[in-house]
Structure 1
Amino acid sequence: MTEQPVRARLVDVAQVAGVSKATVSKVLNGRQDLSVRPETRRRVHEAAEALGYRPHSGARALAGASTHALALLVPSLANPTYVTISRGAYQRARELGYMSLLAEDFDGQEADGSFNDLVQEGRVDGLLIASARPGHPLLDTLDRSPVPHVFLNRSVEDSGRNVTMDVARSSVTALDHLHGLGHRAVGHVAGPPGITPGEVRKEAFLRHAEKLGLSAAPVASGDFTEDGGVSATLELLGSADGAARPPVTALYTSSLAQAIGAMAAIRGLGLRIPEDISVVGNDDLPVAAHLHPPLTTVAMPLYELGTAAVDALVAAIEGTPTGDVLVPTEPRLVLRGSTARPTGTP
């Protein structure tokens, strides 16, 4: 049986020419908007000819043509918040005649380069960027690429492409509820430092706590995960145990997953929910109603965020950008059994 020859790849041409895959792709596709010296272009063409490189037929067909595909980059597929956002984006994309692809912004993706290739080789018409990591290398790629894009659930200053919710209002809603029950010492389980929505939520929490005159409003940061909720809650409660009154009577978490971890940590200290500590979680998903006790949450318009982002991106693709978009639906309190008046209050 005759062994089939190995087809030369884009990366092979890049290695021989001593340039990046992105440069090879743009040179071979005839892009004139790339600032490349003539000798570099010549080197790329010579390397491609020597290796017998031929662009994939699908890539040739897509060059300069619409793919009717959008790509959504999310920070973590383990975060249930992005499941709802992605569903909204997927449904609206279908309604508008587009396919929605989903990618996770995992550690090491920059070295892998696959997502950047998706952008640089024109395999999608536009990008929905929900990744909240500061200083993301993709931002530099977008500066050099004409691909339409919007940022959702995060903001890039002066970009005019931000699709967001009233994140600050979620803290106000949670604190007003707890303050109305009589809580005067409320702690906040914040998100990791530098993540835009979490920072906005934390700053709004501190401002409104001061406005309400709360006697204590401590903050501890953790990942948007169950483990992050556990560690931040233990930090806030200090040495609290069943024999000592905890330093706060209520907690507001920055994510639903954190709230699940916080509830486990509270029970692990021998404290009761809501008799000793009330808990409010941010974002509302079906699992919240099936916890013990059922979790009071602040419901955010996550599905609407996904649909609004696709609307803004398709407008940009069609040449009519909308500018920054704020989803008009306000956060809504979903009252369940994890909150009550503090013990000893009338």
Structure 2
Amino acid sequence: MTEQPVRARLVDVAREAGVSKATVSKVLNGRPDLSVRPETRQRVHEAAEALGYRPHSGARGLAGAGTHALALLVPALANPTYVTMARGAYQRARELGYLSLLAEDFDGQEADGSFNDLVQHGHVDGLLIASARPGHPLLDALNRSPVPHVFLNRSVEGSGRNVTMDVARSSVTALDHLHGLGHRAVGHIAGPPGIAPSEARKQAFLQHAEKLGLSAAPVASGDFTEEGGVSAALQLLRPGADGTTPVTALYTSSLAQAIGAMAAIRDLGLRIPEDISVVGNDDMPVAGHLSPPLTTVAMPLYELGAAAVDALVAAIQGTPQGDIVVPTEPRLVLRGSVARPGGTS
């Protein structure tokens, strides 16, 4: 774990400039009632610049200038998974006297340090980061910065700032249900390689499939989108040499993938659930209005967003909580997209 740099304090700037803390505070906050010599004002600004001092928004709040706002960074606003997560964060933030803002962390945007600047310039008090991935430039920037932040849904090894769910349990829940119905050839549509929760879900799927003695447990990766579900499903449903479909059920990593997989199944002239059963990961109201209604593994996304806010506010207040796993277990929501092999109920 990379040690976080120590934030320069107001007293450090005052010592460097040879003035009082009160004078430093008034100079840096642009107080109009301050009467100091121009050279003193310049000395304060030079000391702050040399030490890399940035007013902590929490401390500014004590003086009436704090934002009491948090920023939730998600990788894709189009992904419905983040809707429930954002609601949990927003509601919990309100209870604690904060406002939770939502921003899309699309590729290339972080290179200019804009998210880091949100905190450094006092626009928000901290970051809730649901978009961490290996090689993300923001991770390097945060290692060199005292910006308060936590990672949710995508953990960063060794950070001590991870707020996650038991994603491995979701695979076990889905497989146990399908196995109990008699399915012995189940395919899994995983997310893109390198995404922590997707990798954990995939490994749990493969391990539990082996434990259950499934005759086939193939995996295909795709984006967490409808298009990703279509392409991965077509790979998994490609007929074998004897012309038969190699699996009788599919378990996806996201609701959007499940919607795409269902479209691919129909395009192949197959029926749901008579020919292929489908279980999606994450649950949204729209799942109950698909044709047929989609069976899902509901994850504690609302609780995840709320827990992340609790952890971030604790960090802002100087009492970091370390890694946290939301205790709520995944829950199977039974609908019409699953049946016994051959379509019997």
**TM-score band, normalised by the shorter chain?**
0.7 to 0.9
Offset, 1:154: 1.1
| Other-structure match for 1:165 | 165
State the distance in 2 between where 1:288 and 1:95 align. Answer: 30
Offset, 1:67: 2.1
SS at match of 1:169: helix
State the distance in 2 between where 1:31 and 1:173 align. Answer: 54
State the distance in 1 between where 2:339 and 2:232 align. Answer: 22
State the distance in 1 between where 2:227 and 2:62 align. Answer: 45
Calculate percent identity across the aligned residue pairs. Answer: 82
State the distance in 2 between where 1:28 and 1:246 align. Answer: 71
Offset, 1:344: 8.1
User: Residue deviations 1:291-332, cap 9 Å, x none?
Assistant: 000000000000000000000111111111111111010000
Contact residue 186 and residue 249 of structure 2 kept, 8 A: yes
SS at match of 2:48: coil
Distance 1:104 1:203, change over 3 A: same
SS at match of 2:305: helix
Contact residue 281 and residue 296 of structure 2 kept, 8 A: yes
Offset, 1:239: 3.6
Contact residue 274 and residue 343 of structure 2 kept, 8 A: no
State the distance in 2 between where 1:322 and 1:272 align. Answer: 49
State the distance in 2 between where 1:273 and 1:29 align. Answer: 68
Equivalent positions of 1:114-133 (< 5 A) are 114-133=114-133
Which runs of 5 or more structure 1 residues have no equivalent in the other structure? 1-26, 36-57
Contact residue 273 and residue 343 of structure 2 kept, 8 A: no
Contact residue 132 and residue 139 of structure 2 kept, 8 A: no
| Other-structure match for 1:155 | 155
State the distance in 2 between where 1:233 and 1:29 align. Answer: 60
SS at match of 1:337: coil
State the distance in 1 between where 2:272 and 2:46 align. Answer: 63
| Other-structure match for 2:294 | 295
User: Residue deviations 1:119-148, cap 9 Å, x none?
Assistant: 332321111000033211111111121121
| Other-structure match for 1:260 | 259
Offset, 1:150: 0.5
State the distance in 2 between where 1:70 and 1:29 align. Answer: 29
Greater shift in the superposed pair: 96-105 or 108-117: 108-117
SS at match of 1:280: strand
| Other-structure match for 1:306 | 305
Distance 1:98 1:330, change over 3 A: same
Distance 1:199 1:117, change over 3 A: same
| Other-structure match for 2:210 | 210
- RMSD (Å), alpha carbons: 2.4
State the distance in 2 between where 1:245 and 1:132 align. Answer: 40
Offset, 1:69: 1.0
Offset, 1:80: 0.3
Distance 1:285 1:29, change over 3 A: farther
Offset, 1:261: 0.2
Distance 1:142 1:260, change over 3 A: same
Q: How many pairs align?
A: 295
Equivalent positions of 1:156-235 (< 5 A) are 156-235=156-235
Contact residue 185 and residue 217 of structure 2 kept, 8 A: yes
TM-score, length basis structure 1 = 0.80
| Other-structure match for 2:10 | none
Distance 1:33 1:218, change over 3 A: farther
State the distance in 1 between where 2:47 and 2:246 align. Answer: 64
Greater shift in the superposed pair: 131-140 or 88-97: 131-140
Q: 2:48 aligns with which of 19, 22, 30?
A: 30
Contact residue 29 and residue 63 of structure 1 kept, 8 A: no
| Other-structure match for 1:331 | 330
User: Residue deviations 1:164-218, cap 9 Å, x none?
Assistant: 0000000000000000000000000000000111000000000000000000000
Distance 1:137 1:62, change over 3 A: farther
SS at match of 2:122: coil
State the distance in 1 between where 2:248 and 2:46 align. Answer: 64
SS at match of 1:30: helix
TM-score, length basis structure 2 = 0.81
| Other-structure match for 1:341 | 340
| Other-structure match for 2:80 | 80
Q: What stretches of structure 1 move > 4 A for 4+ residues in a row?
A: 61-65
Contact residue 165 and residue 305 of structure 1 kept, 8 A: yes
Offset, 1:222: 0.1
State the distance in 1 between where 2:132 and 2:244 align. Answer: 37
